[in-house]
A and B are shown apart, each in its own frame.
Chain A
């Protein structure tokens, strides 16, 4: 096992709310090694995106980050703005969901890619940067890269735009790529192409990928390990095979069961009743209200992540049952 590139310990993010602080995520711990892909799955509001933003120091203004993020042995939480700027886009790069809005509409593709290079590489000028951008566009599988570099985002198709966003993220050879729902806005046939591209790039560069999605099936296609998040907590963490072979948390089991399977028809889809709680509900397991196995104990204390099998952790009192 290689030494982890990224080590997150007890990460929490909180925002001021009604006089107190509302913890959007708490107790997030995991490690990610070079060349590996970590999938983060959860529904909207589970805190997966804010966790990603914490990794690049972009948690929006009144938000407060606590805990520890160690990248390559260096502590990131609490580092200066200048240190964050030097790191972002260079060693840790990010790809966002919506390729149309993630690109600057009034700047050519080539210039936007060149910007990463100009910002981070000493002595790199715009002209040279734009020349290198053409090569990067070619590397992410864009035809006629010279013409595309001169184009504006609206002149490219959705899939090509996301390739351009990836080229931009890869410009400085990052060691960690954080991809937040990178295929959600794309059609399935294009989604397959982008997933393929990310895997190819990982094979070539050995970068680590943190891949965030609401879709368990998409994550299962690309990740080595998976974290399932619910209402700001990690509820289960496991290698991908183990997670699908033996899902331990009732929420994970529910997610897997409710996802329609294209190959088998069932008369009625199983459902997870209710919906995600809005805010901190006080003590107890946050899934208790929707959980078929919950009892009084679940509503008193919050379960901790416990290792049930090698590498397979779950936060549930009833997981053994």
Chain B
């Protein structure tokens, strides 16, 4: 087990390294150039000055050597300076990352719990009226775009009903937990609903299959009650594929989180990466994208570990 995790961490590190180079090269291909932006606001700038600046920032070097310098600094914990924010990249990144992770974790948990409940209930009588209702809800969740859902939530619950604030993460001057929570409600619901439709479909399918399996029949033949049959025997085995898919989906949650943050004007990773790319803030964009990659890799690793833990047939070696 320890050996498995160690190997996977080494693999993840390698993937991260390759990704860093890919992202580094892609950012270099972006239209615009930080030096051009710098001198654009300075009418007296000469081509000589631009060249001098290029030399100072090392932009006259070939791509590979620039990447080498960046990498060497990065492994020492120095991700450089954000041009837009005039602060070290990590100092800018940390609060945004924390905000996004909070949103992702809470909405992911909510989506999973809701999907379990709905999926199991739907699987008990496939084709019945309850199943039809839940399937309708699930399909609605899958087909409705996040931005539209966010807009509708804002219209109904913020503009019309005034239940929740429409944007931001806190009211200025109010530091209470309640205020933070009120600001989180709509983004969390939006992101959770976007995920839960697919999850519900998956839990339902997996439970239907599991309820039909021979060992569930054996449990019934033993005289186990329906509650025990469903929750202990069927659910445990249905969980195995479900957890894998859910954990793998955690990475893709990032995309949804970025949209949600944008819609609710919350200062998370999404807005930060977006702004940094528009503003040619190389260092910030690069590091932000790398952290997004890292989150995805970690969730994949967790999926594998969860799989091995849930299914004794899988030996992690």
Determine whether A and B are in direct contact in the complex, meaning some CB atoms lie less than 8 angstroms apart. Answer: yes
A-side interface residues toward B, CB under 8 Å?
56, 58, 84-90, 93-94, 96, 98, 101-107, 115-116, 119-120, 152, 154, 165, 168
| Interfacial chain A residues near B313, Cβ < 8 Å | 105, 152, 154
Complex CA gap A58/B213 in Å reads 14
| Interfacial chain B residues near A154, Cβ < 8 Å | 312-313
B62 touches A (CB below 8 Å)? no
Asked if B224 and A105 sit within 8 Å, CB to CB, the answer is no
Asked if B223 and A106 sit within 8 Å, CB to CB, the answer is no
Asked if A58 and B218 sit within 8 Å, CB to CB, the answer is no
Asked if A89 and B222 sit within 8 Å, CB to CB, the answer is yes
Asked if A106 and B224 sit within 8 Å, CB to CB, the answer is no
| Interfacial chain A residues near B225, Cβ < 8 Å | 85
A-B contact pairs, 11 of them (CB 8 A): A58-B220, A84-B223, A87-B223, A88-B223, A94-B221, A96-B214, A101-B213, A104-B219, A106-B311, A116-B223, A152-B313
Cross-interface CB contact of B236 among A101, A104, A168, cutoff 8 Å: A104
| Interfacial chain A residues near B310, Cβ < 8 Å | 106
A225 CB to closest chain B CB (Å) equals 24
| Interfacial chain B residues near A107, Cβ < 8 Å | 233, 236
B215 touches A (CB below 8 Å)? yes
Asked if B221 and A105 sit within 8 Å, CB to CB, the answer is no
Complex CA gap A221/B208 in Å reads 39
Asked if B312 and A168 sit within 8 Å, CB to CB, the answer is no
B59 CB to closest chain A CB (Å) equals 57
Asked if B220 and A106 sit within 8 Å, CB to CB, the answer is no
Asked if A103 and B223 sit within 8 Å, CB to CB, the answer is no
Asked if A152 and B224 sit within 8 Å, CB to CB, the answer is no
| Interfacial chain B residues near A96, Cβ < 8 Å | 214, 217-218, 221
Asked if B214 and A98 sit within 8 Å, CB to CB, the answer is yes
Asked if A89 and B237 sit within 8 Å, CB to CB, the answer is no
Pick the 9 closest A-B CB pairs, nearest first.
A89-B223, A89-B222, A101-B214, A88-B223, A94-B221, A152-B312, A104-B215, A154-B313, A102-B214
Per-residue A-contact encoding for B218-253, CB less than 8 Å = 1, 0 else = 111111110000000100110010000000000000
B-side interface residues toward A, CB under 8 Å?
213-215, 217-225, 233, 236-237, 240, 310-313
B83 CB to closest chain A CB (Å) equals 53
Asked if A90 and B223 sit within 8 Å, CB to CB, the answer is yes
B238 CB to closest chain A CB (Å) equals 10
Asked if A106 and B237 sit within 8 Å, CB to CB, the answer is yes
Given known A-B contacts A85-B225, A152-B313, A154-B312, A102 and B220 have beta carbons under 8 A apart: no
| Interfacial chain A residues near B311, Cβ < 8 Å | 105-106
| Interfacial chain A residues near B224, Cβ < 8 Å | 85, 89, 115, 119
Complex CA gap A163/B313 in Å reads 20
Asked if A104 and B223 sit within 8 Å, CB to CB, the answer is no
Asked if B222 and A102 sit within 8 Å, CB to CB, the answer is no
Complex CA gap A84/B240 in Å reads 31
A60 CB to closest chain B CB (Å) equals 9
| Interfacial chain A residues near B312, Cβ < 8 Å | 105-106, 152, 154
Given known A-B contacts A152-B312, A154-B312, A154-B313, A103 and B222 have beta carbons under 8 A apart: no
A86 CB to closest chain B CB (Å) equals 7
Given known A-B contacts A106-B312, A152-B313, A154-B312, A115 and B222 have beta carbons under 8 A apart: yes
User: Known contacts A58-B217, A58-B221, A88-B220; can you find 12 more A-B pairs with CB under 8 A?
Assistant: A85-B225, A87-B223, A89-B221, A89-B222, A101-B215, A104-B215, A107-B233, A107-B236, A116-B223, A119-B222, A119-B224, A168-B222
Complex CA gap A120/B223 in Å reads 8
B42 CB to closest chain A CB (Å) equals 68
| Interfacial chain A residues near B215, Cβ < 8 Å | 101-105
Given known A-B contacts A105-B311, A105-B312, A106-B311, A56 and B221 have beta carbons under 8 A apart: yes
